[in-house]
Amino acid sequence: MRGMEKTLHIIGGGLAGSEAAWQAANLGISVVIHEMRPKVETFAHKSGDLAEMVCSNSFRSDDHEQNAVGLLHWEMRQAGGLIMETAGEHRLPAGGALAVDRESFAAGVTKKILEHPLITVDYEEITELPSSGHWIIATGPLTSSALGEAIAAETGQNALAFFDAIAPIIYADSIDMSKAWMQSRYDKGDTEEERTAYLNCPMDKAQYDQFIDALLEAEKTEFHEGETAKYFDGCLPIEVMAERGRETLRHGPMKPVGLTNPHQPDVKAHAVVQLRRDNALGTLFNIVGFQTKMKYGAQATVFKSIPGLEGANFARLGGIHRNTFLNSPTLLDGQMRLKSQPHIRFAGQITGVEGYVESAAMGLLAGRLAAAEIKGEVMPDLPQDTATGALVHHITGGADAKTFQPMNINFGLFRPVEGLKGGRRGRTDRYKAYTDRAKNAWSEWLSVQG
Ligand SMILES: Cc1cc2nc3c(=O)[nH]c(=O)nc-3n(C[C@H](O)[C@H](O)[C@H](O)COP(=O)(O)OP(=O)(O)OC[C@H]3O[C@@H](n4cnc5c(N)ncnc54)[C@H](O)[C@@H]3O)c2cc1C
């Protein structure tokens, strides 16, 4: 019985679950992965392999000096990460990106997991929340409905989403404040911070008309087969609002009321685009109500036509997807444990990160934290200055729980390095300083566990 208590159970053998299992097993822990495929399928997975990449075959930029995703790659490699090691073995030429042959990659991960002496794979769907033991739930954006319902019963329906509705997020230092200004509608709020919580970008009639035309003409992505459009009840994409009538947005998220432009106090804006702080650091802003199914290229063009956002640098573009994810800022502690059931950790996309690399990184962290716990070790808090730390800190605390949507890794999640130039010009030095600082902090943290 005591032996069983030392076993780590992982539900879901995707990118996060496979990485979590690998990390824990390499730290001497017995692991059982419970994977429902191929018995139970999802609309996106095509095989019974572990760690299947369901869409693109790219892990994005491999530049660990100037790119936050590349830095995550670096951190995972330093930690002996399965996903990065196997990606390296199945790499395809893709310039600075890390792209792989997806079939041989997933087959490679599956082989290594099945051959690991401390890992067993049970091919079964788990439909209930485990009541005891050590567990990681890494069932991803397409968590089976039975388990999704069990999670929602524990967390409350409002704390588990089944669709994301992501508005674009922009680096604060790329917004032109000679056109934009900070003000909450009708100056509402008890503190100066609340009265100036929103960043406003004004449009005159001609600019608004052009913007609506661009929205209507922009290329849109289609839903995947099997995805439903339930999201329509709650949050319409802006282009769908525009299709319903040219004035709809002006009466919705772009209404110009309750705002005075300090740059032109006598001119009444025809429409106003509002942005809201997206993280506690104040380095990122999201465009309020601008969830969209426009293609990425079209989004960049259309959003840069907004006065003040001409030079916008996007931390992430918008999207709407089938995506099961937790309201992690309210539900998880800094060790990725469910506060109400601390024997259960969550990892991967279901924690509210977005992307293969981010999901695998959260698996890596959860696997290491679970292994330490089972061995009775205490891991020091993961420094926020690492890429993995910046991400986990964002989802478990830094993000605003009320507007929480999935996040990918970006330098806006990092604490600023003092004394460096802001804006576009200082970017190369700034990013190098972030990645140097992260590498030192990550190496030190890893050395505790070995
Ligand atoms: C359609 C789609 C396209 C995407 N495209 C991209 C992309 O191009 N690039 C990118 O970076 N990210 C993409 N993502 C987002 C995300 O990065 C991937 O979904 C990634 O695979 C998430 O990793 P994960 O380990 O959290 O989940 P997954 O890799 O999905 O792994 C979860 C595993 O859990 C299993 N499972 C689910 N429920 C149960 C259960 N009850 N019992 C047992 N097993 C269960 C599933 O079968 C699956 O194997 C996409 C997501 C979707 C849905």
Q: Which domains does the chain have, with CATH numbers?
A: 2-165+322-449 (3.50.50.60), 169-317 (2.40.30)
Task: Calculate the alpha carbon distances from 320 to 54, 60, 342 in Å.
Answer: 16, 20, 31
Predicted TM-score (pTM) of the model is 0.89
- What are the residues facing 327 on neighbouring strands? none
Q: Is 152 annotated as a binding residue?
A: no
Q: Is the CB–ligand 1 distance for residue 351 below 6 Å?
A: no
What local confidence, expressed as pLDDT, does residue 1 receive? 37
Closest CA to 42 of 195, 224, 295, 206: 224
**CA of 180 relative to ligand 1 center, distance in Å:** 39
Q: What percent of the chain has pLDDT over 90?
A: 81
Query: For 182-228, how does the pLDDT look when each residue is reduced to its tens digit (9 = 90+)?
Result: 999 999 888 998 899 899 999 999 999 999 999 999 999 877 665 65
Q: pLDDT-based confidence at 233, cuts 50/70/90?
A: low
pLDDT: which is higher, 20 or 378: 20
Q: Is 215 annotated as a binding residue?
A: no
Residue 94 pLDDT more than 70?
A: yes
Q: What is the mean pLDDT of residues 419-444?
A: 91
What local confidence, expressed as pLDDT, does residue 96 receive? 87
Mean per-residue pLDDT over the chain, rounded: 93
- Half-sphere exposure of residue 343: CA atoms within 13 angstroms, side-chain side: 11
SS (HEC) of 166-209: ECCEEEHHHCCCCCCEECCHHHCCCCHHHHCCEEEEEECHHHHH
Query: For 284-310, how does the pLDDT look when each residue is reduced to its tens digit (9 = 90+)?
Result: 999 999 999 999 999 999 999 999 999
What local confidence, expressed as pLDDT, does residue 226 receive? 58
**CA of 219 relative to ligand 1 center, distance in Å:** 26
Closest CA to 419 of 404, 406, 429: 429
Q: What is the mean pLDDT of residues 375-382?
A: 91
Q: What is the mean pLDDT of residues 88-116?
A: 94
d(CA 390, CA 441): 12
Which protein residue has the closest C-alpha to ligand 1 atom 16? 355
Residue of 136, 320, 356, 409 to test ligand 1 pocket, by largest number of atoms within 8 Å of CB: 356
Query: For 23-80, how does the pLDDT look when each residue is reduced to its tens digit (9 = 90+)?
Result: 999 999 999 999 999 999 998 899 999 999 998 899 999 999 999 999 999 999 999 9
Residue 112 pLDDT more than 80?
A: yes
